[in-house]
Amino acid sequence: MAETVLTSADLVAPLFVAEGLSAPHPISSLPGQFQHTVDSLLNEVDLHLANGVNAFMLFGVPVTKDDQGSGAWDPNGITQVALRELKARFGHDVVLMADLCLDEYTSHGHCGVLTAQGTVDNDATIALYAQVAIAQAQAGANVVAPSGMMDGQVLAIRQGLDSAGFDDAAILAYSAKYASAFYGPFREAVKVEIADGGDRRAYQQDYRNRREGLREALADIEQGADMVMVKPAMSYLDVLSDIAANVDVPVSAYHVSGEYAMIKAAGERGWIDAPRVALEQLTSVKRAGANFILTYFANEIAEGLKR
């Protein structure tokens, strides 16, 4: 009699791949998650496929960074290397999504290049995003996922991809991405620290705003987004529901690192039944309108659903 049933096909697994590692490195604030080597990344994808999860969002963790974030579009950058290896190994058996931003690659930790005054230069940044998108598509990404929340980023990326012959590469826009306190463990995972104690409130959305999320999603679709995302998930189900009811493209939600870490921490203390809470939360995200969900629980939940 259930109206909403979660399946492995609803899940996308975010995975981290890092340069300079000889073995996968556990992420302390994300129990069960790792910074992978390219080899261990391939093995991790194998494990997910065995449980019915075939879509992956890839985040690269470079050894060196600079003020432009040039490693993000370097053909030999860690994300592009990993994408090529994944495509060679798994071909059409997987959907490869690549997070498209500069923050993992910039020395200052912001999602774009900075002006002399220390603010993010929107127009200079989106030109670089187009370069990143082309590099990711060349390496084998089926979907590029701009997460920097720059104005006009989707249009710049669509034009760049089309001009380079990648008109079939899809864009998943982080459209309603809020300046949230739930991202802490992710920052550890990608080794990002914003310089001088800064934050991203100048370009991410105010968590107090609801209508802005729908407005941003509609703007991204008009610019050429094939799919849109709400991030985080649980505290923004109202935004997710609004967008799902008003757009005609697939809608996703990102069950983020802080949401995952809180369930894991409470479960370790015996305060909650963590697997059941995770399943309940992810099902509620689908119930609110998500066509697919990015979650660090992907493999664990998919394995449990097989039983």
Which residue in the list 65, 231, 264, 286 is annotated as catalytic? 231
Tokens of 193: 């620290």
Active-site residue flag, 177: yes
Which residue in the list 65, 177, 264, 286 is annotated as catalytic? 177
Q: What's the CA gap between 31 and 48, in Å, rounded? A: 17
Strand partners, 205: 178
- The DSSP line for the chain is --S----GGGEEEEEEEETT-SS-EE-TTSTT-EEEPHHHHHHHHHHHHHTT--EEEEEEE-S--BSS-GGGT-TTSHHHHHHHHHHHHHGGGSEEEEEE-STTTBSS--SS-B-TTSSB-HHHHHHHHHHHHHHHHHHT-SEEEE-S--TTHHHHHHHHHHHTT-TT-EEEEEEEEB--GGGHHHHHHHT---GGG--STTTSBPTT-SHHHHHHHHHHHHHT-SEEEEESSGGGHHHHHHHHHH-SS-EEEEE-HHHHHHHHHHHHTTSS-HHHHHHHHHHHHHHHT-SEEEETTHHHHHHHHH-
Q: What are phi and psi of 50, to 5 degrees?
A: -65, -25
CB 182, CB 258: distance < 8 Å = yes
Catalytically annotated residues: 177, 231
